[in-house]
Structure 1
């Protein structure tokens, strides 16, 4: 077993129209099994039969909650990557960026994330439907939350009003993802502090 689900996902509707009440414990077991199976096999080879078996449930339990592998994947990944992410509001750009980077680092250090994220990115280059779904459900909302962090810094006068937001958003996420997910080099708190200072210098330039 690779590990447990990165976080507890919200349950789908408790009672689909005309259907039975959905048990939260089964939903959580399916979510945990999904992430473990995804980390083990990758998205392309992921089987809903294998997810159900790992969860100790029937395949029908999956279809009562999610109509397809794609919709199950997007819903659970969104719950972890977007719904559980709350933008920091420390009152300073430095504090907000440091919290932002720390949360990303904590997530990418988890065995499940470190195996799932690169696979999803690779699979997205081959699977247009998955790519569009992840862009709409995960990438765009996460960038929107980070953009609000930048907007607050502009309102406080910490960044110029003409800050290039698109470039700034790339700078915020790129270096840390490269270090942890691609180069796979560990990060100590001192690194995150130094990276925060460099990012602020670059954004304010």
Structure 2
């Protein structure tokens, strides 16, 4: 063998260990997208690792290398389903912040995929303590920080007293939205959002 084909010191070049799996990011993203699509199409109960692999266009082994079963797979994706990415509004008034947050959250809940997935996961949470805990944690992380930021901004402007508890704000924001959009499946036109914003602001200030 020539010296060009050898590594430093004349030894053969090192190879990656045989069988070492390289988790390609494009396949991981395809699997994640397939999970959302499967949840929306068939629900958690009927979803299978085989169906996910088929929809993602990958082999079953590619799914099992990343997640051992569908529960940890879905639990890993719950934060994204729960709401991630909602911005913290800063309109200059508490009512304006509440109104903007209601509109953005209502639009997210009304998305056709979210409208199928969120109620299904909440139903599954009633049967699975792991799912219930993951949803509680994800929803609190996604919405709790936003509600607290809105309350602290209102405190700084003198619209709320110091040390106002953000927990009621979270309940007042989430409750009407979920009931109206996810349970009643009713539209939320601007006048209804305005009414909700006035009522929630008045309740917080009371």
Larger radius of gyration: 2
Q: How many pairs are equivalent?
A: 186
The CA distance in 2 between the partners of 1:38 and 1:200, in whole Å, is: 35
Per-residue CA deviations over 1:115-141 (Å, capped at 9, x if unaligned) read 1111111111111111112222x1220
Q: Which is worse superposed, 40-49 or 71-80? A: 71-80
Poorly superposed stretches of 4+, deviation over 4 Å: none
Q: Which is worse superposed, 169-178 or 29-38? A: 29-38
Q: CA RMSD in A?
A: 1.9
Q: State the match for 1:23 in structure 2.
A: 25
Q: Tell whether the 8 Å contact from 1:82 to 1:141 is kept in structure 2 after alignment.
A: no
Q: State the match for 1:54 in structure 2.
A: 55
Per-residue CA deviations over 1:157-192 (Å, capped at 9, x if unaligned) read 111225343222101110111011111111112211
5+ long unaligned stretches in structure 1: 1-17
Q: State the match for 1:131 in structure 2.
A: 132
Deviation at 1:83, TM superposition (A): 3.7
The CA distance in 2 between the partners of 1:30 and 1:57, in whole Å, is: 8
Q: Which is worse superposed, 84-93 or 173-182? A: 84-93
Instruction: Give the direction of change, closer, same or farther, for the CA distance of 1:66–1:152 in structure 2 (3 Å limit).
Output: farther
Higher helix proportion (structure 1 or 2): 2
Deviation at 1:23, TM superposition (A): 3.1
TM-score by length of 1: 0.81
Instruction: Give the direction of change, closer, same or farther, for the CA distance of 1:183–1:21 in structure 2 (3 Å limit).
Output: closer
The yes-or-no answer on 1:102 pairing with 2:83 is no
Q: Which is worse superposed, 170-179 or 80-89? A: 80-89
The CA distance in 2 between the partners of 1:189 and 1:66, in whole Å, is: 43
The CA distance in 1 between the partners of 2:46 and 2:184, in whole Å, is: 25
The CA distance in 1 between the partners of 2:23 and 2:40, in whole Å, is: 29
Q: Specify the SS of the correspondent of 1:43.
A: helix
Per-residue CA deviations over 1:94-151 (Å, capped at 9, x if unaligned) read 2221221111111121111111111111111111111112222x12202233222212
TM-score by length of 2: 0.81
Instruction: Give the direction of change, closer, same or farther, for the CA distance of 1:95–1:63 in structure 2 (3 Å limit).
Output: farther
Q: Which is worse superposed, 120-129 or 86-95? A: 86-95
The CA distance in 2 between the partners of 1:120 and 1:23, in whole Å, is: 26
Q: State the match for 2:8 in structure 1.
A: none
Q: State the match for 1:157 in structure 2.
A: 158
Q: Specify the SS of the correspondent of 2:72.
A: helix
Instruction: Give the direction of change, closer, same or farther, for the CA distance of 1:112–1:43 in structure 2 (3 Å limit).
Output: same
Instruction: Give the direction of change, closer, same or farther, for the CA distance of 1:21–1:127 in structure 2 (3 Å limit).
Output: closer
